[in-house]
Amino acid sequence: MMPRVAAFLIPLTLLFTGCTNLGVEPWERNILAKPEMQLIADPIEAGLDDHIYFSKEASSGGRSFAGGGCGCN
Amino acid sequence: MTRLTRLEEADGYWQGRFQAMASPCEIFMEVDEASSANRLLQIAADEAWRIEKKFSRYKKDNLVYRINNSSGAPAKVDDETAHLLDFAQQCWELSDGLFDITSGVLRRVWRFDGGSHIPDEAAVKALLPYVGWQHVNWSRPFFTLPQGMEIDFGGIGKEYAVDRTLLCLQEVTDAGLLVNFGGDIHAGRRKKDAGAWSIGIENPNQPDSANGILKIHQGALATSGDARRFLLRDGKRYGHVMNPKTGWPIENAPRSVTVAADTCTEAGVLATLALLHGEDAETFLKGQAVQYWLND
Amino acid sequence: MQLKDKSKKIRRSLTAATCSLLGISTTDTPAEEGDWEFDSAVLYYSEVDRVSAIEPVITAKREFSDEKSLNLKLVFDALTGASANGATPSDQPQTFTKPSGEGSYTASANETPLDDTFKDFRMAFSSQWDQPLNRDYKASLGGNFSTEYDYLSLSVNGSLSRDFNKRNTTLSVGISLAHDTISPDGDLPVGFSSMVIDTGQAGFEDDFDATREGSEDTKTTLDLIFGLTQVIDQHTVMQLSYSISDSSGYLTDPFKILSVVGSDGRPVDYRYEKRPDSRNKQGLYWQTKHHFSKDILDISYRFFWDDWDITSHTLDLRYRWMLGGQQYLEPHFRYYSQSEADFYRRFLVDGDVLPDYASADYRLGELTGITLGLKYGFKLANEQELSMRLEYYLQSGDSPDGNAPGILSDMELFPDVEAIILQFNYAF
């Protein structure tokens, strides 16, 4: 599996260097600073959803740790 | 403070008045009914009074007072204050440290009452360690002000209140509106008179006369400098705009600068920045591509 | 010329700064340092004819000076109902021994065998400490504790992030180490051992004990996440992350079995399932949020794969539609599809050589899940917020390629799972 990891990290680096023109000035963050614009706007809901889908599907993780923590049925 | 509002009908609009931030405040409203005019006037007055109460350094029960008496401890601030602090910091950065909301401390020795008392250099020097935004720690939402320093939103508060008040009114009506707090003005588009408002511009040399009528459709005007606030000594005139780096008033600045911009806050900061450029005020304004009026 | 250029820049920056200043709401509630902020929710999850769960959650957050914060979370989870045990349906009633070995349960003819002995209560507590290390670096440390009647999980995690480019770009790396212990009532079954059915025979208990090995086992999981968050413009933020998770130890489900069927499709035996003792999962996750003049679009996609040969795609779409008056409606759509694990078998065939591993757990089979939801929320005064959501989840397994023997060709081997999710939230 490791070669696949490397293959994905390369475009990530390219993207990062390509991103230096993107972004906003500190005083242009009023919209981005809203609670509802946070990537995980509702952490409780995200946690509950992660738990539901962890119990019902074979995949987990992605936005946060794949974890475990239950013997879910 | 009087909490009164007055409403008068004029030709095709209603004019409401009240007192806030030590200024006469006027709201012009193109509505038909007295009841709607009165409702708008109350909204406007409430917003102006709210901002005054919240940001005035003369009140003892607000956040500004708590910050100024925090003895160097971090104070947690709400979103609105945080935005104003962000804005103050940006103005400070943009002006290379000339626009500074901590320079009010200098008023302890400078009293611009039209008289001739000039403080001695040692007294000014002794205050300088307590002036300068670089000494504060602003890390949202915590603001830490070293002991002995003060902040004062006076330089932007009134203009901010004008803009906020117009925004509040525009949330509830699409009528033509003009907000004027002591000469700082923000107008929304009129329906009548080809959509334009006529505004007189005060001549600071003759404080009670108007030397020009300006027609604006929408936008804002703000004036910095004050014909009444200065010191006169040995034929030299000291305006009340201070250089926070020296502790002395800016020299050779125009008596007042009026700037037109999209918002009153922006116009006000541009006008103040112009004054802070002293004799280069006009050069500065020319570079900004704004309409301006100088009174020397 | 230089002066002019610089001055022009002042005007532009000032205009932007003013817009930012005036584009804000004016709630007048400065929370004092040290105030706890609470967020709570109750989730009700109910599958048609199967499991239902009620799950209250409360979180508390306390901010300290210098952007330090402590987050605590407590979750309770009460679960009742029935879950597919993995066996195939039959045209005769089927009797199974309970996982505890004490008593049995029965599936009617033509029905998917469900183990209805599930009653569990879970309590989980987690805490997380965040703080900046300096201007650019932030660190986070946390711990989780989760306990059930027959399951205990402990984990610690840490992450480090660094801001670049005026905080428009953030790179982060996180690590989590978890240690789980499973100790089911009736001990752990021997993989592939035959289920002993109590028909009143004298030696049942000895026979049952012979299918057991040890009272508990453990698994450890190491997770790593590498994240990149990028502010695109004033209205858009994007995240990309790559995660890798390595589990080893007891990964089998001790409650799941496989039917061993004869050529007529009828069961001749039931065997406890057996999974590999290690699993490596990887995921790529992309999320973008965009703020229109009022509404917010939240879109994410995850590609997941593991060394059990499962790959999956998850697409998640949310649109927060601002109604004015601090209210919003948020429709939600989620699409999920996975391929089956290489050792997934719907059943075993009598007489065939046993594979190294096998499981009939439908969650390891090929399946598609669709979620449709709607959330309604509104803000009250004093920064309190209420919201509720109702979602419908439909999971469909994919039918085999028509080679099921005998009676199984007429049976529903992959019944849909339908669930309703109802949640209330209150932040104060």
**Residue B250 pLDDT more than 60?**
yes
Has residue B33 been placed in a domain? yes
CATH number at residue B277: 3.10.520.10
Please indicate, yes or no, whether residues B81 and B122 belong to a single structural domain of this protein.
Answer: yes
Q: Whole-prediction pTM value?
A: 0.63
Residues B140, B177 within the same domain: no
pLDDT per residue as tens digits for the range B197-215: 777 665 545 444 444 566 6
Q: Would you say residue B86 lies in a domain?
A: yes
Asked whether residue B132 is assigned to any structural domain, the reply reads: yes
Set of chain A residues whose Cβ sits within 8 Å of the Cβ of C232: 22-23
In the predicted structure, residue C212 carries a pLDDT above the cut 60? yes
pLDDT higher than 60, residue C401: no
Any domain includes B244: yes
Instruction: Mark yes or no for CB contact A69/C178 under 8 Å.
Output: yes
What residue in A sits closest to C118 (Cα-Cα)? A73
Q: Which phi and psi angles does C44 have, rounded to 5°?
A: -115, 120
Number of domains in chain C: 1
Both B41 and B140 in a single domain? no
B162 within domain boundaries:
yes
Query: Which strands form B142-144's sheet, in the order they lie side by side?
Result: B74-76, B142-144, B137-139
Asked if B228 and B186 touch (Cβ cutoff 8 Å), the reply is no
B97/B67 same-domain check = yes
Q: Which residues pair with C220 in a beta bridge?
A: C179, C248
CA distance C13 to chain B (A): 8
- Asked whether residue B84 is domain-assigned, the answer is yes
Say yes or no: B92 and B114 in one domain: yes
Answer whether B87 sits within 8 Å of A27, measured CB to CB: yes
ipTM score assigned to the predicted complex: 0.88
- Which position has the higher pLDDT, A7 or A68? A68
Is there a single domain that holds both residue B16 and residue B145?
A: no
**Collapsing DSSP states into helix, strand and coil, what is residue C326?**
coil
Query: What CATH number should be reported for the domain holding residue C309?
Result: 2.40.160
Element of type H or E holding B41: helix B34-55
Residue contact B83–A30, C-beta within 8 A: yes
Domain containing B244 equals 63-152+223-295
Average pLDDT over residues C115-141: 88
Task: For residues B227 and B265, state if they share a domain.
Answer: yes
Tell me: do B162 and B284 sit in the same domain.
no
Q: Are the beta carbons of C372 and C332 closer than 8 angstroms? A: yes
Which residue would you say has higher pLDDT here, A62 or C282? C282
**B79 and B147: one domain?**
yes
Number of domains forming the structure of chain B? 2
Is a pLDDT exceeding 90 seen at residue C109?
Answer: yes
Among all residues of chain A, which has the CA nearest to that of B87?
A27
Q: Do both B72 and B111 map to the same domain? A: yes
User: What are the structure tokens assigned to C29, written together?
Assistant: 């509630």
CB B53 within 8 A of CB B59: yes
Q: Verify that B265 and B234 share a domain, yes or no.
A: yes
Range of lowest pLDDT (B57-71, C170-184, C237-251):
B57-71
* Residue C164, in any domain of the structure: yes
Range of the domain at C347: 52-427
Q: Which residue has the higher pLDDT, C239 or B257?
A: C239
Tell me if C19 is assigned to some domain. Answer: no
Q: Give the distance from residue B86's alpha carbon to the nearest chain A alpha carbon, in angstroms.
A: 7
Of C11, C25, C31, the CB nearest to B288: C11
**Which chain A positions have a beta carbon within 8 Å of C20's beta carbon?**
27-30
List CB contacts (< 8 A) between A70 and chain C: 77, 122, 124, 146, 148, 151, 153
Tell which of C169, C286, C389, C417 to mutate to test the A interface (max A CBs under 10 Å): C169
Q: Is residue C8 part of a domain?
A: no
Question: Do B254 and B288 lie in a common domain?
Answer: yes
Length of chain B: 296
In a domain, C197, yes or no: yes
Whether B87 and chain A come into contact, CB under 8 Å, resolves to: yes
> In sequence order, what are the residues at sequence separation of 6 or more whose Cβ sits closer than 8 angstroms to the Cβ of residue B173?
B29, B31, B36, B40
